[in-house]
Amino acid sequence: MRHLEREELVKLLNKPVFHHISEVADELDMEAYVVGGYVRDLFLERPSKDIDVVVVGSGITVAEALCKRLGRGAHLSVFRNFGTAQVHWHGEEVEFVGARRESYSHDSRKPIVEDGTLEDDQRRRDFTINALAICLNKARFGELLDPFEGVWDMEDRLIATPLDPDITFSDDPLRMMRCIRFATQLNFEIEAETFEALSRNRERIKIISQERIIDELQKIMASDSPSRGWELLFQCGLLEIIFPELQAMQGVETRNGRAHKDNFWHTLEVLSNVVRTQREQRNDNYLWLRWAALLHDIGKPRSKRWDPQLGWTFHNHNFVGEKMVPQIFRRMKLPMDERMKYVQKLVGLHMRPIVIADEEVTDSAVRRLLFEAGDDIDDLMQLCEADITSRNEQRKQRFLDNFRLVREKLVDLEERDRIRNFQPPVSGEEIMERFNLPPCKEVGTLKTAVKDAILDGIIPNEHDAALQFVIEKAKRMGLSAE
Ligand code: CTP
């Protein structure tokens, strides 16, 4: 963070749009301030987004006058119900609102709003770092108003509320999610009393819509340290309410002196490992690979068993997890499209490379893996490598070496056999035509036999060899060619 004196703020606000607002506000004899995230991000040297302006008086009146002054190229939208207006001009988006005082009822996020002073307006905001205002009127242009010492909190890297945190969170419980999101995005600590209020008010999150909650969770997931966000959610007790399946992964059970690992903390470690590997390269699926990391073991609590010989087992947890993915996506209001399918596929397949690496790395096993993972094979391998969190260095090295072998074989087989986007070299139509068959079970049997023969390396992935194989197989099945 940087310390900014008034002259520096004047320079940073030296944009035509601010000068126009300044002159319009002076003409109307109203005070205008740039507030909120825009001011915070000036101090934190983050890229600025939309501009929020608070007017002591009517925000709509200033927006209308500004639009008139800017003339063609400016576009005004007025939301009378909310007392706000937006001006779009040359790629800038400025939102105007009158300074207000708000009071809330217990069962709703909708406040009763009255006109107020600038300080009333700052007081009703969520965090001290979001409650800064800079005056735009000419005589005081660049003057900072920071009654809740947000600058100090930025200096100390703290998230704190301007009012008693119980009031701030109870007024608008979405702020509890925002609190953890900002702490995660900015790598700030949450001030102790504010943190305690998160725990005390956590039940209030239930009045917030899932769409808003998932918005914040996606921002946490896209940040540089999403695991820290999940850890904070766990520590304050919000996780239990918003994501019980993840909460259920926490804990260690011991029987006859045998304990299993804590799957919650393991998961966060895997998520962090994935994020680390994405520093070098990231594809379009990067956010969904993070979700796959978060959910890869989600089936474990439901598949946990005690076996007197084997100890704790989690048989088929990948398949149980695969089934849970669509249910979780639907409830969480995550997209139910190919992104969900991608996460589901990775969760379902995440044990395969480990099983292969644990035994002998055969061509046939690698070909089958490639066939099932298709274009997502590299992401799957990335997830599986991130999944190795063993503290036993020797064991860890053995897995990593075997994974390298799997990767080498993948490249080699892909070049030879083009399995990744496998299309059977003999189609169902060709089989039906050659043996004069209607669509029937035998056609399916022959197709599967060809696929298996190719994946097992019995025949190459080529039309003529495949056709010859089909003819011989058909003969054995008692079918004759035309
Ligand atoms: N605000 C608030 N309570 C909320 C949402 C917003 O007090 N639940 C206030 C904060 O002062 C915030 C401002 O409204 O700075 C603008 O909100 P928004 O645009 O949602 O967030 P930003 O702080 O700009 O940050 P980001 O864009 O990262 O969400």
For 65-121, give the DSSP string.
HHHHHH-TTEEEEEEGGGTEEEEEETTEEEEEEE-EEEEE-TT-S-EEEEE--HHHH
Given the DSSP bridges, would you call strands 92-98 and 51-56 parallel, antiparallel or unpaired? Answer: parallel
| 235-260 pLDDT, tens digit each | 999 999 999 999 999 999 899 889 89
| pLDDT at 425 exceeding the cut of 90 | no
Angle (nearest 5°) at CA 65 between 60 and 68: 125
pLDDT of residue 105: 67
Cα 43 from Cα 64, distance rounded (Å): 30
CA of 252 to the centre of ligand 1 (A): 39
| 276-333 pLDDT, tens digit each | 999 988 888 999 999 999 999 999 999 999 998 889 899 999 999 999 999 999 999 9
CA of 35 to the centre of ligand 1 (A): 10
Q: Which residue has the higher pLDDT, 211 or 456?
A: 211
Residue carrying structure tokens 């397949």: 349
Using DSSP, state whether 313 is helix, strand or coil: strand
**Torsion sign across C-alpha atoms 273, 275, 281, 287:** positive
User: Of 100, 126, 146, which is best to mutate to test ligand 1, by the most ligand atoms within 8 angstroms of its C-beta?
Assistant: 126
pLDDT of residue 48: 84
Q: Tell me the pTM.
A: 0.90
Residue carrying structure tokens 């480990």: 354
pLDDT of residue 377: 93
| pLDDT at 143 exceeding the cut of 90 | yes
Cα 15 from Cα 134, distance rounded (Å): 14
Strands (E), 341-387: none
Which region among 35-39, 109-113, 152-156, 395-399 has the lowest average model confidence (pLDDT)? 109-113
pLDDT of residue 103: 73
Least Cα distance to 194 among 207, 204, 179 occurs for 179
Find the residues whose C-beta lies inside 6 A of ligand 1: 36-37, 49, 52, 125-126, 130, 172, 174-175, 178
| 435-472 pLDDT, tens digit each | 888 999 999 999 999 989 988 889 988 899 999 999 99
Least Cα distance to 197 among 187, 209, 205, 207 occurs for 205
| 59-99 pLDDT, tens digit each | 999 999 999 999 989 999 999 988 999 999 999 999 999 99
pLDDT of residue 244: 97
Closest residue (by CA) to atom 28 of ligand 1? Answer: 37
In terms of CATH, what superfamily is 6-156?
A: Beta Polymerase, domain 2 (3.30.460.10)
pLDDT of residue 482: 61
pLDDT of residue 108: 66
CA of 48 to the centre of ligand 1 (A): 13
Q: Which residue has the higher pLDDT, 422 or 275?
A: 275
CA of 126 to the centre of ligand 1 (A): 8
User: Of 125, 181, 217, which is best to mutate to test ligand 1, by the most ligand atoms within 8 angstroms of its C-beta?
Assistant: 125
pLDDT of residue 13: 96
Closest residue (by CA) to atom 8 of ligand 1? Answer: 175
Atom of ligand 1 nearest to the CA of 49: 27
| pLDDT at 356 exceeding the cut of 90 | no
Mean of per-residue pLDDT scores for the chain:
93
Instruction: Kindly indicate the confidence band of residue 107, based on its pLDDT and cuts at 50, 70 and 90.
Output: low
The CATH 3.30.460.10 portion of the chain extends over 6-156
Percentage of residues in the chain having pLDDT higher than 70: 98
Closest residue (by CA) to atom 9 of ligand 1? Answer: 125
Cα 189 from Cα 187, distance rounded (Å): 7
Closest residue (by CA) to atom 24 of ligand 1? Answer: 37
CA of 147 to the centre of ligand 1 (A): 18
Closest residue (by CA) to atom 12 of ligand 1? Answer: 36
